[in-house]
Copies of this chain bind each other. A is one copy, B any other.
Amino acid sequence: MNKIYQLIIAVLTGSLLAFTASAQNALVTKELKLTSTEVLASSQATDWRLPEQRNLMYVQVSNTDAPVVFELAEDFAPKHIANLRTLVKQKYFDGLAIIRSQDNYVAQWGDPAEDEGEFRTLGDAAETVEPEFYRAKKGLALQNIVSRDAYADEVGFVKGFAVGADAKGRNSAEARAWLTHCYGALGVARGMAMNSGNASGLYAVTGHSPRHLDRNITLLGRALIGMEHLSTLPRGTESLGFYKTAEEATPIVSVRFGNELPTEQQIHLEVMRTDTQIFRDYVAARTKRTHDWFADPVSRIEVCNVNVPSRPVSTHSE
């Protein structure tokens, strides 16, 4: 690879990778204003958590050997996640398909059947589920970040998930909190009826975050790895990115929760904890952008640009 371009772009990205030499210079010259790379390098084992395999959903699409792995947020959508577990246990999604890929919006998967009579049965899963568009802010350990958000009074993180919340105070019974539609967010398609989403149709955000959907549809979690297998799918040419023919739709090989997989197929990831000083330092670094490449201090951040880090672990800890 062209080294000059690598340098040009490396510094452009504010990436977590590389630049040890320049980062060390920055450490000296910038009076300990750390870059996010340096913050990560300084993290301890206890700054990371291992998601439970039962909360990891592996979506295996036929265009790749590697799954997309989503972590589910049971604090936000326990009823939909329970229904999804029932569907997955029945192997509901196996052999279904990506039915829609709309540029700068979402990829969606589910039953590609043309007529209602041909739909795969939901089996033991419910046809309707009460909406979980938001929950009470009370009882939630929200780690706020300093950000002037376009869509929420407050924003922050809960166990790695980007969250918006009402600013009515932590103890108000009315204050709500909700998962946000950042890139990689996993949601439940629904119709006009608020309870018509049952998790048999799912979508992931593949473009700029459509935050106007926040509090209007149930989100379940977010992708930890493999989003590129959904974001690079050919776009459908029908309206809203639906595919014109069944042949264009990419088949879903299988959907499984991690605890249903043979050990050798489990992927072991750790996610940076978001209730720690290291996370606050990480957000501060992503906010300030002290790297010498930056001409103008940024000093601002948006919740969907925080990108809570995850990484593979080499040993099984379960």
B-binding residues in A (CB < 8 A): 1-15, 17-18, 99-100, 102-105, 108, 110-116, 131, 133, 147-151, 182-184, 189-192, 194, 196, 201, 207-213, 215-217, 227-228, 231-235, 238-240, 242-244, 286, 289, 292-296, 298, 300-302, 304-305
Contact = CB atoms under 8 A, between A and B. Distances in A.
The 9 A-B residue pairs with the shortest CB-CB distance in the complex, in nearest-first order: A150-B302, A183-B208, A103-B228, A228-B235, A8-B191, A17-B239, A215-B296, A212-B298, A232-B232
Contacts of A12: 189-190, 213, 217
8 contacts: A1-B99, A1-B243, A13-B105, A103-B228, A103-B231, A149-B150, A215-B296, A216-B298
Contacts of A147: 150
Given A99-B2, A149-B150, A301 B212 contact: yes
A191 B11 CA distance: 7
A294 B210 CA distance: 13
Given A4-B116, A100-B9, A231-B231, A183 B212 contact: no
A112 B4 CA distance: 10
A10 B240 contact: yes
A216 B114 CA distance: 49
Nearest to A7: B191
B150 A301 contact: yes
A149 B3 CA distance: 36
Contacts of A133: 295-296
A51 to B, nearest CB: 20
Given A5-B99, A192-B11, A201-B8, A208 B211 contact: no
A198 to B, nearest CB: 11
Contact of A6 (B8, B231, B242, B286): B242
A305 B211 contact: yes
A131 B295 CA distance: 10
A1 B149 contact: no
Nearest to A6: B242
Contacts of A302: 150-151, 211
Contact of A192 (B1, B213, B293): B293
A249 to B, nearest CB: 10
Contacts of A10: 239-240
A201 B5 contact: yes
A202 to B, nearest CB: 12
B104 A184 contact: yes
A148 B151 CA distance: 8
Contact of A148 (B150, B190, B228): B150
Contacts of A149: 148, 150
Q: Which of A12, A196, A216, A240 counts the most chain B CB atoms within 10 A?
A: A12
Contact of A191 (B4, B114, B209): B4
Given A10-B240, A104-B227, A208-B207, A2 B114 contact: yes
